[in-house]
Amino acid sequence: MVYNCPKCGGELGLDGKCSPCAWKPSPLPLLGDIVAYPVGPWSAWQSKVIAVGELVLAVGTEPIQYSHIGILSRWTEGRADYEAQFPRVREFAIPPARPFDIFQLPGLTAGQRSTILAYCRSHLGEWYNLIGVLTAGLIMPRNQAFCSEFAGQAYAAAGLLIPFEHERALFPDAVADWPKAQKIFSSNGGK
């Protein structure tokens, strides 16, 4: 799978712009944006467990069900994000075959973006909250986060609270439903 231009169907470059027709995402993705991954056969098993939890707990109103969340750390010259992914928090390259959408908060300041990214960098190597995933948020160890919690904590560090749709934990679909955040890019052109 390649990333296709929603206008002409041409292949998007690594910077997300289309060379045949000059289409580009507007606004452009910026570091610190939220990367949301739809659940699918490609998802890690922990993400599939989260997806089942979202269905059981009725979290999420978006037509697309997201089961994994990251924070964009690189957009040009390859794409990467910070993710709490089993077993630890790391910076991951976004594989070209993996569908993802980018959500951006309008008005986020450069200072808030650097705070979000600094939070992610300072928590690299911390354990993934597997217990929280397996207990649907019933048991939440301190200093451990799963993907969407980690993203929520990074935004909270910048003073931005993403509302929980379920009292115990912040699920990926709740991040995608955050009314303040706008979907600005879809790796499949929004299809």
**What is the closest distance, in whole angstroms, from the C-beta atom of residue 1 to Zn ion in the complex?**
17
Q: Which two tokens stand for residue 47?
A: 């993400």
User: Exactly one of 4, 15, 17, 23 binds Zn ion (CB under 5 A); which one?
Assistant: 23
21 lines the binding site for Zn ion (CB under 5 A): yes
Q: Does residue 38 contact residue 99 with C-beta atoms inside 8 Å?
A: yes
Which of 28/130 has CB closer to Zn ion?
28
User: Exactly one of 8, 14, 124, 139 binds Zn ion (CB under 5 A); which one?
Assistant: 8
Q: Does residue 80 contact residue 73 with C-beta atoms inside 8 Å?
A: yes
User: Exactly one of 1, 2, 7, 52 binds Zn ion (CB under 5 A); which one?
Assistant: 7
Determine which helix (DSSP H) or strand (DSSP E) holds 184, and give its type and residue range.
strand 182-186
3-state secondary structure of 169: coil
Q: Which two tokens stand for residue 53?
A: 């939890």
**What is the closest distance, in whole angstroms, from the C-beta atom of residue 5 to Zn ion in the complex?**
3
Footprint of Zn ion (CB under 5 A): 5, 7-8, 10, 18, 20-21, 23
